[in-house]
Amino acid sequence: MLQNTWNATLYEGKHAFVWKYGEDLLNLLSPQPGEKILDVGCGTGQLTAKIAENGAIVTSIDADAAMVEKAKLNYPNLEFTVADARSFQFDIEFDAVFSNATLHWIPEAEAVINSIYCALKPGGRFIAEFGGKGNVKLITDALYQALEIKSPLSWYFPSIGEYTTLLEKQGFDVSYAVLFDRPTPLPDGEAGLRNWLTMFASRFFANSTQQEVIKTVEEQLKPILYKDGTWTADYRRLRIVAMRES
Q: Which residues bind ligand BEZ (CB under 6 A)?
A: 101, 104, 131, 135-136, 155, 200, 235
Q: Which is nearer to ligand BEZ, 6 or 75 (CB)?
A: 6
Residue 211's CB is within 10 A of a number of other CB atoms, namely 12
Q: Which is nearer to ligand BEZ, 94 or 200 (CB)?
A: 200
Q: Mapped to the 3 state alphabet, what secondary structure does 186-202 carry? A: ECCHHHHHHHHHHHHCH
Q: How far is the CB of 97 from ligand BEZ (least distance, A)?
A: 18
Q: How far is the CB of 136 from ligand BEZ (least distance, A)?
A: 5
Q: How far is the CB of 159 from ligand BEZ (least distance, A)?
A: 15
Report the residue number whose CB is nearest to ligand BEZ: 131
Distances, alpha carbon 240 to alpha carbons 101, 134, 237, in Å: 12, 17, 10
d(CA 95, CA 192): 38
Q: What is the DSSP letter of 184?
A: E
Q: Which is nearer to ligand BEZ, 106 or 120 (CB)?
A: 106
Structural contact between residues 210 and 139, judged by C-beta atoms closer than 8 angstroms = no
Task: Enumerate helices (H) and strands (E) in the chain, giving the number of each.
Answer: 9, 10
Q: How far is the CB of 68 from ligand BEZ (least distance, A)?
A: 19
Q: How far is the CB of 39 from ligand BEZ (least distance, A)?
A: 16
Q: Which is nearer to ligand BEZ, 36 or 237 (CB)?
A: 237
Q: Which is nearer to ligand BEZ, 181 or 212 (CB)?
A: 181
d(CA 46, CA 96): 18
- The residues, ordered by sequence, that sit 6+ positions from 76 with a Cβ below 8 Å of its Cβ are none
Q: How far is the CB of 182 from ligand BEZ (least distance, A)?
A: 9
| Max Cα–Cα distance, the chain, nearest Å | 53
Q: Side chain identity at 197, as an amino acid letter?
A: L
Q: Which is nearer to ligand BEZ, 8 or 243 (CB)?
A: 8
